[in-house]
């Protein structure tokens, strides 16, 4: 292979996770698969068709460029929703292609309506309301104008969604903040109802909110991290498994594999790699793997990270370089150039989880996954 590592994606694991999510949300509710951040590192081009094979037909992205990537590979029946950034050009493209967009400012709402009218199409709008996250969303004071625009321009738009986002449902420390948001969102839903403006979908829940505040699943949920086989936080994992006989229902889709590029002996008393951070305390066998911080194997794993080689767990030694990392292979039975190295995933009975990886450097699963460069080939198994 030309590439220095590959990321494998396991379809059976995705089927497992999606059926877990389905169990939580019921058969009728719309499940939007959140594929922003390059499908949380899994690769939009590989992930979207796979998810479609498992019955997904709605995808959420953050920006127009991500929407375009989904658009290129999706089936005609699948829908795309942009939750964040769209400039004027992007908006015209979105309207022309039936892409759903969140609007959270009067200016964008007016522009979307005008563009739809010019294009002779209907814009599919999700009205995001501010309930306490304080990121984006219409303030209460804007709602009269929003309602008026929706009513007056009904011919040029579809009121596809009324939505909000919670400010950290994965952590109990935000419990009261989320409860206040729920109260506020319910008030806004009643307000729209009173004005006889009925969205196709009311939605608020991400993975953690779906698990913790199931009464808020409404008509649609936007699920990211769970579908990839990860919990939004340790808290949500413990909370769920405690209630469900300690069974882990999720499976990781991703494995990250490379190979030994060179193997050699290092004598006791020699330093390995840049600087003096690793001093061989005995004669060791050392292997070099062509994956470094430039590939998402963060520098904080210097002298800390682990990998699996020929069924043995081994330690990173020295600092992680831009393009490579050194491993202590002394305990590995006859390691040789070309042997597979597992950076994330299983080798026999052993496993390197993304969590063990990210906890070592205090990184969120979300961050580690989305930092895996898009240049690493993704292979579906």
Ligand X SMILES: Cc1ncc(COP(=O)(O)O)c(C=O)c1O
Specify the residue, 208 or 372, whose C-beta has the smaller distance to ligand X. Answer: 208
* Binding residues for ligand X, total number by CB under 6 A: 11
Q: Is 103 in the site for ligand X (CB under 6 A)?
A: no
Cβ–Cβ < 8 Å for 256, 343: yes
Note whether 319 binds ligand X by CB under 6 A: no
Tell me which stretch binds ligand X (CB under 6 A): 4-12, 43-51, 205-213, 239-247.
Answer: 205-213
Rounded alpha-carbon distances, angstroms, from residue 360 to 255, 296, 376: 18, 14, 23
Cα→Cα distances 312→152, 230, 328, 347, 354, Å:
67, 25, 11, 8, 18
Task: Tokens for 88, please give them.
Answer: 């004027």
Which residues are bridge partners to 201 per DSSP? 161
Question: What is the Cα–Cα distance from 154 to 133, expressed in whole angstroms?
Answer: 29
CB of 80 to ligand X, least distance (A): 14
Tell me if 17 contacts ligand X by CB under 6 A.
Answer: no
Please report whether residue 182 would count as binding ligand X according to CB under 6 A.
no
Minimum CB separation from ligand X for residue 73, in Å? 20
Check residue 162 for interaction with ligand X (CB under 6 A): no
Q: Shortest Cβ distance from residue 266 to ligand X (Å)?
A: 43
Q: Does 222 bind ligand X (CB under 6 A)?
A: yes
Cβ distance to ligand X smaller for residue 36 or 257: 36
CA–CA dist 243, 111 (Å, integer):
48
41 binds ligand X (CB under 6 A): no
Q: Can residue 225 be called a binding residue for ligand X (CB under 6 A)?
A: yes
* 128 strand-pairing partners: 163
Asked if residue 206 binds ligand X (CB under 6 A), the reply is: yes
Q: Does position 129 bind ligand X by CB under 6 A?
A: no
Instruction: Round to whole Å and give the CA distance between 44 and 370.
Output: 11
Q: Which stretch binds ligand X (CB under 6 A): 89-97, 201-209, 294-302, 325-333?
A: 201-209
CA–CA distance, 263 with 286 (Å, rounded to integer)? 6
Q: Binding to ligand X by residue 250, rule CB under 6 A?
A: no
Residues 7, 34, 211, 284: which binds ligand X (CB under 6 A)?
34
Interface with ligand X includes 368 (CB under 6 A)? no
Applying CB under 6 A, the span of 116-124, 137-145, 220-228, 339-347 interacting with ligand X comes to 220-228
Contact 292, 302 (CB under 8 A): no
How near is the Cβ of 228 to ligand X at its closest, in Å? Answer: 8
Enclosing H/E stretch for 50 = helix 44-53
The smaller minimum CB distance to ligand X, of residues 209 and 266, is found at: 209
**Closest residue to ligand X, based on beta-carbon distance:** 224
Burial 342-380 (b: 16+ CB within 10 A, else e): bbbbebeeeebebeebbeeeebebbebbbbbeeebebeb
Sign (positive or negative) of CA dihedral 225, 227, 233, 234: negative
What would the DSSP string read from start to end of 9-26? E-HHHHHHHHHHHHHHH-
DSSP labels, 201-252: EEEEE-HHHHHH-GGG-TTEEEE-GGGGT--S-HHHHHHHHHHTTT------
The helix (H) or strand (E) run that includes residue 70 is: helix 64-73
* Residue 273 lies near ligand X (rule: CB under 6 A): no
Per-residue mark of binding to ligand X, 58-87 (x: CB under 6 A): -------------------------x----
Q: How far is the CB of 249 from ligand X (least distance, A)?
A: 15
Which region among 72-80, 171-179, 203-211, 273-281 touches ligand X (by CB under 6 A)?
203-211
Q: Is 223 in the site for ligand X (CB under 6 A)?
A: yes
Which one-letter DSSP state was computed for residue 260? -
Residue 165 found at the interface with ligand X (CB under 6 A): yes
Least CB distance to ligand X at residue 254 (A): 15
Is 113 one of the binding residues for ligand X (CB under 6 A)?
A: no
Q: Can you give the binding site for ligand X, defined by CB under 6 A?
A: 34, 83, 165, 206-208, 222-225, 232
């Amino acid at each position: 292979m030309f590439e220095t590592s590959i990321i494998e994606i396991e379809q059976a694991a995705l089927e497992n996770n999606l059926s877990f999510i389905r169990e939580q949300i019921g058969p009728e509710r719309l499940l939007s698969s959140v594929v922003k951040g390059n499908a949380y590192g899994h690769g939009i081009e590989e992930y979207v068709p796979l998810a479609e094979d498992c019955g997904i037909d709605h995808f959420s992205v953050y920006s127009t460029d991500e929407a375009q990537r989904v658009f290129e590979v999706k089936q005609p029946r699948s829908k795309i929703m942009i939750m964040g950034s769209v400039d004027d050009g992007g908006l015209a493209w979105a309207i022309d292609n039936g892409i759903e967009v969140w609007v959270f400012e009067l200016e964008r709402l007016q522009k979307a309506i005008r563009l739809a009218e010019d294009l002779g199409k209907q814009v599919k709008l999700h009205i995001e309301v501010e309930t306490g996250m304080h990121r984006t969303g219409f303030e209460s004071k804007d709602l009269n104008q929003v309602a008026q625009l929706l009513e007056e321009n009904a011919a040029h738009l579809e009121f596809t969604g009324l939505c909000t986002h919670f400010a950290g449902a994965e952590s109990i420390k935000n419990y009261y903040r989320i409860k206040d948001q729920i109260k506020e969102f319910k008030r806004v839903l009643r307000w729209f109802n009173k004005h006889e403006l009925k969205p196709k979908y009311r939605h608020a829940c991400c993975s953690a909110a779906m698990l913790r505040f199931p009464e808020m699943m409404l008509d649609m949920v936007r699920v990211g991290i769970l579908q990839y086989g990860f919990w939004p936080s340790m808290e949500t994992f413990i909370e769920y498994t405690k209630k469900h006989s300690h069974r882990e229902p999720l499976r990781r889709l991703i494995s990250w594999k490379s190979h030994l590029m060179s193997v050699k002996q290092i004598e006791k008393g020699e330093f390995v790699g840049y600087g003096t951070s690793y001093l061989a305390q005995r004669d060791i066998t050392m292997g070099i793997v062509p994956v470094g911080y430039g590939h998402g194997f963060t520098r904080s794993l210097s002298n800390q990270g682990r990998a699996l080689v020929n069924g043995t767990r081994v330690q990173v030694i020295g600092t992680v370089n831009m393009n490579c990392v050194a491993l202590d292979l002394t305990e590995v039975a006859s390691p040789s150039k070309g042997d597979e190295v597992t950076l994330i995933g299983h080798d026999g009975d052993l496993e390197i989880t993304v969590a063990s990886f990210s906890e070592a450097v205090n990184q969120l699963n979300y961050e580690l996954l989305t930092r895996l460069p898009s240049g690493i080939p993704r292979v579906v198994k």
